Amino acid sequence: MKSNNNKEMAQEQEPFTVGSFRPEDADGIVDLFRAVYGDGYPIRLFYDPAAITAANEEGRYYSICARTASGEVIGVTHLYLSAPCKSLYETGVGLVRKEYRNSGANNGLLDFLYNEFVSRNSHIDELFGEAVCNHPYMQKAISRFNFVETAIEVALMPAEAYTQEKSAAGRVATLNAFRCYKPKPHRIFLPPVYERKLRWIYDRLDDARDVAVSEGQIPGATPTRADLTVFDFARVARIAVPESGGDFRDRLSALESEGLAKKAVVFQVSLNLTEPWVGAAVEILRERGYFFGGPLPRWFDGDGLLMQKLLCPPDFEGIVLVSDFAKALLEFIREDWGQAA
């Protein structure tokens, strides 16, 4: 029976090529998302061909497509801006039709993206990806392309995003990994409570840092600069803090209240590791139930630190990880969560 299924799948496959987005790909991308996710994917742009075309023209998204000779899009992956630093691009929103998942399509998409497309675009300094942890496939892929794992976002995506394929029973974690194309050595300050763990992570990077230990209090006269982004479908509130000031507690409370009003159950704060007093900001977050996520290279151009808080039960047992490093990182995060809970 298995052999017959494999033959049927092989017969359904056509030769394909990989390349940058063309306007005629837009309808095929929509069809692909519907085939894989039904109507459950949270980024609604991918159900609108005109919006996909506009996003590519404006550089908000770069779609890399695998297409057959007849023009059917059988796989796609993307680069897009999601971090404060405009030379750090996220790689993700990748998917392949079920019948082509043993065809090398995903590997071809990633090889073109990481080894050809980026080299043609000089404004891209670094890439990062959020590999979902309800299966091992994307983690295995990024390890082949010189990405370094640094952080885990616990309970990031809702199970509803995976309804079509029934691949998640609860919220799904992601493993964050970064690949540097243009090094930028700079000084960072490690919060004392996480110094040892952060040094362990930074020892793996191929982009040098001048590392010091954070000390001192947040300057009282400096106002906090922070931005909130709420992802309604995922119920995730992200707070980016490029500058922490004397009003950090009050600013954090106000932004959390906004997130709660929009029914967020996952809160993430990114702090700036180039601030000498970042350790004091970490302690404020820990007092409010936040726990360790991991460093985010080049997040603010200088590095960031992810802290996270959950108002929903995590499913640590359901997190699928491949590397020994990622498994050890998760154990530390789980311990820190236990202290914050």
Are residues 175 and 194 both part of a single domain?
Answer: no
**pLDDT above 60 (res 269):** yes
The whole-number pLDDT of residue 167 equals 47
Are residues 252 and 285 both part of a single domain?
Answer: yes
Question: Which tokens in the block code for residue 191?
Answer: 């919060």
The whole-number pLDDT of residue 3 equals 41
Average pLDDT over residues 99-104: 92
Alpha-carbon gap, residue 23 to 38, rounded angstroms: 22
Residue 1: which pLDDT band, with cuts at 50, 70 and 90? very low
Pairing of strands 88-96, 73-80: antiparallel
The whole-number pLDDT of residue 168 equals 46
Are residues 159 and 35 both part of a single domain?
Answer: yes
Are residues 76 and 143 both part of a single domain?
Answer: yes
Are residues 176 and 286 both part of a single domain?
Answer: no
Pairing of strands 126-132, 88-96: parallel
Average pLDDT over residues 291-302: 98
Distance between start and end Cα atoms, the chain: 49
Domain membership flag for residue 325: no
Q: What is the mean pLDDT of the chain?
A: 92
Are residues 243 and 96 both part of a single domain?
Answer: no
pLDDT digits (tens, 9 = 90+) for 241-260: 999 999 999 999 999 999 99
Query: What is the residue range of 236's domain?
Result: 186-315
Q: Which residue has the tokens 């954090």?
A: 252
Which among 152, 180, 208 is the end of a domain? Answer: 180
The whole-number pLDDT of residue 339 equals 93
The whole-number pLDDT of residue 161 equals 54
Domain membership flag for residue 140: yes
Residue 59 dihedral angles phi and psi, to the nearest 5°: 80, 10
The whole-number pLDDT of residue 2 equals 40
The whole-number pLDDT of residue 293 equals 98
Are residues 31 and 137 both part of a single domain?
Answer: yes
Residue 158: which pLDDT band, with cuts at 50, 70 and 90? confident
The whole-number pLDDT of residue 13 equals 85
Average pLDDT over residues 51-59: 96
Alpha-carbon gap, residue 238 to 306, rounded angstroms: 10
Domain membership flag for residue 109: yes
The 3-state DSSP composition of the chain as helix, strand, coil percent (nearest 5) reads 35, 30, 30
The CATH number assigned to the domain holding 91 equals: 3.40.630.30
Which among 180, 211, 226 is the end of a domain? Answer: 180
The whole-number pLDDT of residue 8 equals 45
Are residues 242 and 132 both part of a single domain?
Answer: no
Contact status, residue 141 vs residue 106, Cβ threshold 8 Å: yes
The whole-number pLDDT of residue 169 equals 54
Are residues 49 and 155 both part of a single domain?
Answer: yes
Sign for the CA dihedral angle at 310, 197, 136, 119 comes to positive
Residue 283: which pLDDT band, with cuts at 50, 70 and 90? very high
Domain membership flag for residue 330: no
Question: Which tokens in the block code for residue 212?
Answer: 């010091």
pLDDT digits (tens, 9 = 90+) for 216-244: 999 999 999 999 999 998 899 999 999 99
Determine the Cα angle at 309 with ends 307 and 314, to 5°: 115
Domain membership flag for residue 323: no
**pLDDT above 90 (res 272):** yes
The whole-number pLDDT of residue 159 equals 63
Residue 310: which pLDDT band, with cuts at 50, 70 and 90? very high
The whole-number pLDDT of residue 137 equals 84
Which among 180, 200, 235 is the end of a domain? Answer: 180
Nearest partner of 21 among 46, 69, 53, 58, judged by Cα: 53
Contact status, residue 270 vs residue 176, Cβ threshold 8 Å: no
The whole-number pLDDT of residue 16 equals 97
Domain membership flag for residue 252: yes
Counting the structural domains of the chain, the total is 2
Domain membership flag for residue 341: no
pLDDT digits (tens, 9 = 90+) for 176-196: 999 999 999 999 999 999 999
With 0-12 / 13-18 / 19 or more C-beta atoms within 10 angstroms meaning exposed / middle / buried, residue 317 is exposed
Question: Which tokens in the block code for residue 204?
Answer: 């793996």
Are residues 160 and 202 both part of a single domain?
Answer: no
Domain membership flag for residue 337: no
Residue 341: which pLDDT band, with cuts at 50, 70 and 90? low
Alpha-carbon gap, residue 45 to 65, rounded angstroms: 16
Sign for the CA dihedral angle at 80, 106, 327, 37 comes to positive
Are residues 91 and 220 both part of a single domain?
Answer: no
Are residues 160 and 291 both part of a single domain?
Answer: no
The CATH number assigned to the domain holding 193 equals: 3.40.630
